[in-house]
Amino acid sequence: MRRWIEKQRCLLDFTLSSLLRRKGKNIALAVVYTLIVFTLASVMMFTQALKKEASLILRETPEILVQKLAAGRHDLIPLSYASRIGQIRGVAEVKGRLWGYYFDPVMGANYTVMVSEDPSLDEGEILVGKGISRLRQVYKSNILSFRGCDGNYLAFKIKGTFEAESEIIASDLVLCSESDFRRLFGTPGGYATDLTVKVKNRKEIPTIAAKILQILPDTRPIRRDEILRTYDAVFDWRGGILLAVLAGAVLAFIIFAWDRAAGLSAEERREIGILKAIGWETADVLQMKFWEGLTISLSSFLLGILLAYGHVHFFSAGLFEPVLKGWSVLYPKFKLVPYVDPYQVATLFFFTVMPYTVATIVPSWRAATIDPDSVMRY
Amino acid sequence: MRKSDIFLRFILVNLALMGVIFFHARAKTEAHLPRLQQVGRMVEQLQLTDLCLTTEAWHTRNPSQADWHTPFQTHPLALEHFPSGAIVRPPESMRKPHAPVD
């Protein structure tokens, strides 16, 4: 065993010297390889962290949300629907939710305006998210004006701002009283944006959602598990589309790596021929080539994963920010819960390290099995 | 020092750092728990449904609440044009195919 280890170390010494002789080419390959692993791993870790964050935070989202649809579009829902839903056996509570979007022409930003159930929030007072506070440079006790549906400006006193920790859900949030909301948007009394339904037994949620649809066919019940699944699907797809965008780069890399690994240069062929001529076995040549493939791919893989973790969890995935941000003027600042899925790391390892290592061995095996004399002449 | 020793040490350091990543992730998750619980309470209290990740378009601000037409606001044949809309697709419930017409 000791002898075998010593032999492998000697082979590794030789491989490293051989790689260093073609320093430029191999360093370029390792850099591109690392970048590819870094990008793939960054997407993977970012989407995993977002999924984890969503699943942990949105566990407490309403059990069933009922929207009214008019001509296929989301419409205001009459509060009389609440009493009809309340009569379904198993429903514990039905509440109207008032919320909407406000486009701020001053900053060109979208805010989410919502009615608070907090009785301490008086008429003319609002609570705002950190994002709005940062964007408009407004703080506690300042006045913030919104243009109402009738064209008149309504002035609100900022009672406070949400804590920075809540930016991931409330960065663009404006909480106001019900009367202020109705004045701002002209929402008639007796109507809400949607209804939230609390059920007594969670197992009955699908049944109750089906009953709601049965007695109120112009509504769309959205269950909590659907909301959570939406996030799962969105982030899976988000990862998928980023990977699709990256597919071109990955393909270019595959061609580059395949050419590098599979197509032996004349110099490399001659090297194999000389090694065979001085007494190396075919197995030794293959082991040497295995080490060559592993040296480049394993180093690049490990460096890529480490850099990706740093990028996503220490630099808040800064390279993806422009894509997420898009045209948003108001962008939340948040730190994601780090989450690394060993299964995904293993998958990435399998798809990056294994093919390259194998690709280096096959052509070497071909070169190593033919006559050294003819290989050297080639 | 032999080249193989330098390389093996480099790999060992990287592997150790990989181990540190897993421990760091676990430790940080525990450290984040109070914040997550606090945010979860806020979600329950305010009856929120979505994460505030991108605010440029309605359907990317509240993907679970968007209506059927939102991604096609401009005109019926308009392709989605918000950058984040290119990566946040409409929710599952909105992508159900319509009934066959032929």
pLDDT in tens, A209-245: 999 999 999 998 988 888 888 777 777 655 566 666 6
Q: Is the pLDDT of residue A164 over 50?
A: yes
| Closest approach of B51 to chain A, Cα-based (Å) | 5
- Three-class secondary structure assignment of B20-60: HHHHHHHHHHHHHHHHHHHHHHHHHHHCCCCCCCCCCCHHH
3 state DSSP class of B94: helix
pLDDT of residue B81: 53
Contacts of B39 in chain A (CB under 8 A): 57, 165-166, 168-169
Contacts of B29 in chain A (CB under 8 A): 337-339
| Residues A24, A32: Cα–Cα separation, whole Å | 12
Domain residue extents for chain A = 2-58+233-377, 64-223
| Residues A138, A125: Cα–Cα separation, whole Å | 14
pLDDT of residue B77: 43
pLDDT tens readout for residues A267-291 = 777 788 888 888 888 888 888 888 8
Q: Is the pLDDT of residue A110 over 60?
A: yes
B74 touches chain A (CB under 8 A): no
Say which DSSP state B100 is in: P
Asked whether the beta carbons of residue A230 and residue B47 sit closer than 8 angstroms, the reply is no
Nearest CA to A369 out of A285, A292, A291, A271 is that of A285
The chain-wide mean pLDDT, for chain B, equals 74
| Residues A252, A37: Cα–Cα separation, whole Å | 14
> Worst-scoring range by mean pLDDT, A2-16, A26-40, A220-234, B79-93?
B79-93
| Closest approach of B77 to chain A, Cα-based (Å) | 17
| Residues A243, A220: Cα–Cα separation, whole Å | 33
Regarding predicted confidence, which is higher, A156 or A262?
A156
Asked whether the beta carbons of residue A339 and residue B15 sit closer than 8 angstroms, the reply is no
Q: Is the pLDDT of residue A332 over 90?
A: no
CB nearest to A324's CB, from B25, B84, B91: B84
pLDDT of residue B70: 54
Asked whether the beta carbons of residue A234 and residue B91 sit closer than 8 angstroms, the reply is yes
pLDDT above 70 coverage of chain A, percent: 93
* Residue A225: closest C-alpha in chain B: B64
pLDDT tens readout for residues A121-152 = 888 899 999 999 998 898 888 899 999 888 88
CB nearest to B2's CB, from A13, A114, A171: A13
Query: What is the rounded average pLDDT of the residues A84-113?
Result: 89
| Closest approach of A329 to chain B, Cα-based (Å) | 7
Contacts of A74 in chain B (CB under 8 A): 65, 67
* Residue A324: closest C-alpha in chain B: B84
**How much is the pTM?**
0.80
Contacts of B35 in chain A (CB under 8 A): 165
CB nearest to A169's CB, from B7, B22, B43: B43
pLDDT of residue B1: 82
pLDDT above 90 coverage of chain A, percent: 28
Q: Is the pLDDT of residue A203 over 50?
A: yes
3 state DSSP class of B8: helix
Regarding predicted confidence, which is higher, A101 or A232?
A101
* Residue B52: closest C-alpha in chain A: A169
Confidence band (pLDDT; 50, 70, 90) for A370? confident
**Dihedral sign computed on CA atoms, order A360, A365, A367, A373:** positive
B50 touches chain A (CB under 8 A): yes
| Cβ count near B22 (within 10 Å) | 14
Query: Which residue(s) pair with A74 in the sheet?
Result: A69
Asked whether the beta carbons of residue A12 and residue B4 sit closer than 8 angstroms, the reply is yes
| Closest approach of A148 to chain B, Cα-based (Å) | 19
pLDDT tens readout for residues A243-259 = 666 777 777 777 777 77
* Residue A45: closest C-alpha in chain B: B25
Where chain B has pLDDT below 50, the residues are 72-78, 97-102
Mutate to test the interface with B, among A66, A328, A339 (most CBs of B within 10 A): A328
Asked whether the beta carbons of residue A72 and residue B86 sit closer than 8 angstroms, the reply is no
Size of interface A-B (CB pairs under 8 A): 218
CB nearest to A327's CB, from B56, B89, B93: B56
Query: What is the rounded average pLDDT of the residues A97-107?
Result: 88
Supply the ipTM of this predicted assembly.
Answer: 0.76
* Residue B3: closest C-alpha in chain A: A13
Asked whether the beta carbons of residue B54 and residue A324 sit closer than 8 angstroms, the reply is yes
Asked whether the beta carbons of residue B46 and residue A328 sit closer than 8 angstroms, the reply is no
The chain-wide mean pLDDT, for chain A, equals 85
B80 touches chain A (CB under 8 A): no
B13 touches chain A (CB under 8 A): no
* Residue A235: closest C-alpha in chain B: B88
What CATH number is given for A64-223 in this structure? 2.40.40.20
pLDDT tens readout for residues A63-87 = 999 999 887 778 899 999 999 999 9
